[in-house]
């Protein structure tokens, strides 16, 4: 059993499937993750690898016809309010067993675990002001709060995330704000209740480069002030190198490799991780130098390969093994796990 002072969320053998008319899509197929208090874990991989579905499963907001069919999502929650860092008064809650619409899960969602979604403009309601939407989260989770105090707190939050003249901006609708200001508003909403964990699903995708840097710096600043863990889902390995403490590489619903950020970038063992790193554009590259790419495509989810799901695209493919048996995560060094026959030999 992990030290509860360090571990915040542990995902064990999580399987989230979508039951379609054409068949079953195994969007998440046995994922294992450990998220530590105050740390940032980067979740990387190509589109369709199950990153966002894993995040939604943690918050129990997987849309129909998807559902969790197996596994655990253990959340170490303080037993008493006002706990201090270093306290051992924690209870373990398996979020996968809670009613997704029940009061206990609703109390956790948005209060203790919050999420920043991919598209800032589509994550906010166009019918309500920014102030109303942030204050609603405060009033929902802090019953003793008055509307006046919630409004004051909303202004404080908007000022905290760097929105100028927040006392005026609370009356603005999302369409009156830029993409960067909408994203800052979403971050303000997400941190309103001082959550233990913030899930950031591609938080800078729709933003320009300058605004991206500002949003990432803001997230780091909020993490330092609030001591929250961050689960950062991104395609940008440069962002991972700058932000993350630990990294999990996902492929077709499974974790291919997980380790601390230095090990991933300097001692990657899985062929997929190596291929992702090779595909990063290099400043030193020639003007007409062709970028490295991973051959092939992510397989059709209705026609998953047998054995290792990456073997049709793998440069280290071992015939008769990789195409017959699915590997499991094996610890090859302290904290460094790899799911690959070529890398582990077993």
Question: What are the pLDDT digits (tens) for 214-233?
Answer: 888 888 888 988 889 999 99
Distances (CA, A) of 323 to 170, 210, 294, 312, 340: 57, 45, 19, 8, 12
For residue 152, the enclosing domain spans 129-192
One domain, residues 57 and 144: no
Question: What are the pLDDT digits (tens) for 321-336?
Answer: 999 999 999 999 999 9
Highest mean pLDDT among 30-39, 142-151, 204-213, 233-242: 30-39
Which distant-in-sequence residues (6+ apart) come within 8 Å of 288 by Cβ? none
Rounded to whole angstroms, how far apart are CA atoms 322 and 257?
16
Q: Give the pTM.
A: 0.88
| Residue 229 β-bridge partners | 197
Does residue 123 sit within a domain? Answer: no
One domain, residues 105 and 231: yes
Torsion of Cα atoms, 298 then 10 then 339 then 234, to 10°: 40
Q: Tell whether the model's pLDDT for residue 206 goes beyond 70.
A: no
Looking at 279, 295, 311, which one is the last position of a domain? 295
**pLDDT top residue among 206 and 79:** 79
CB atoms within 10 A of CB 65: 12
One domain, residues 151 and 225: no
One domain, residues 21 and 69: yes
Which CATH number characterizes residue 262's domain?
A: 3.40.50.300
| Residue 278 β-bridge partners | none
One domain, residues 56 and 199: yes
Q: Look at residue 245 and give its three-state secondary structure.
A: coil
One domain, residues 30 and 95: yes
Q: How many independent structural domains does the chain possess?
A: 2
One domain, residues 169 and 248: no
Sheet holding 7-20, edge to edge: 23-36, 7-20, 66-78, 90-94
One domain, residues 146 and 19: no
Lowest-pLDDT range, 53-57, 135-139, 244-248, 282-286? 282-286
One domain, residues 157 and 17: no
Pairing state of beta strands 40-44 and 246-251? parallel
Lowest-pLDDT range, 71-80, 125-134, 270-279, 281-290? 281-290
Continuous segment of H or E residues that includes residue 199: strand 197-201
């Amino acid at each position: 059993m992990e030290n509860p002072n360090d571990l915040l969320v542990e995902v064990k053998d999580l399987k989230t499937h979508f039951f379609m008319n054409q068949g079953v899509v195994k969007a998440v197929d046995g994922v294992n993750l450990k998220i530590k208090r105050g740390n940032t874990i980067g979740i990387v991989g190509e589109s369709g690898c199950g990153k966002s579905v894993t995040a939604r499963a943690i918050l129990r907001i997987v849309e129909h016809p998807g559902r969790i069919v197996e596994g655990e999502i253990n959340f170490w929650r303080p037993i008493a309010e006002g706990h201090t860092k270093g306290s051992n008064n924690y209870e373990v809650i398996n979020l996968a067993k809670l009613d997704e619409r029940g009061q206990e899960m609703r109390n956790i969602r948005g209060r203790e675990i919050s999420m920043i979604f991919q598209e800032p403009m589509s994550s906010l309601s166009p019918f309500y002001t920014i102030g109303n939407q942030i204050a609603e989260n405060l009033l929902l989770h802090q019953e003793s709060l008055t509307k006046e105090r919630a409004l004051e707190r909303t202004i404080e939050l908007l000022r905290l995330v760097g929105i100028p003249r927040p006392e005026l901006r609370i009356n603005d609708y999302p369409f009156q704000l830029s993409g960067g200001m909408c994203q800052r508003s979403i971050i303000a909403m997400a941190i309103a209740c001082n959550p233990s964990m913030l899930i950031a699903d591609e938080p800078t995708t729709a933003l320009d480069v300058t605004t991206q840097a500002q949003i990432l710096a803001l997230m780091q600043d909020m993490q330092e002030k609030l001591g929250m863990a961050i689960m950062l889902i991104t395609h940008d390995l440069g962002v991972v190198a700058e932000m993350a403490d630990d990294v999990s590489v996902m492929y077709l619903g499974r974790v291919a490799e997980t380790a601390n950020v230095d090990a991933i970038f300097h001692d990657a063992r899985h062929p997929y991780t190596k291929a992702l790193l090779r595909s990063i554009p290099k400043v030193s590259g020639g003007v007409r130098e062709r970028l490295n790419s991973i051959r092939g495509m992510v397989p059709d989810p209705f026609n998953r390969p047998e054995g290792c799901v990456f073997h049709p695209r793998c440069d280290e493919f071992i015939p008769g093994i990789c195409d017959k048996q699915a590997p499991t995560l094996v610890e090859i060094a302290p904290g460094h796990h790899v799911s690959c026959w070529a890398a582990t030999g077993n």
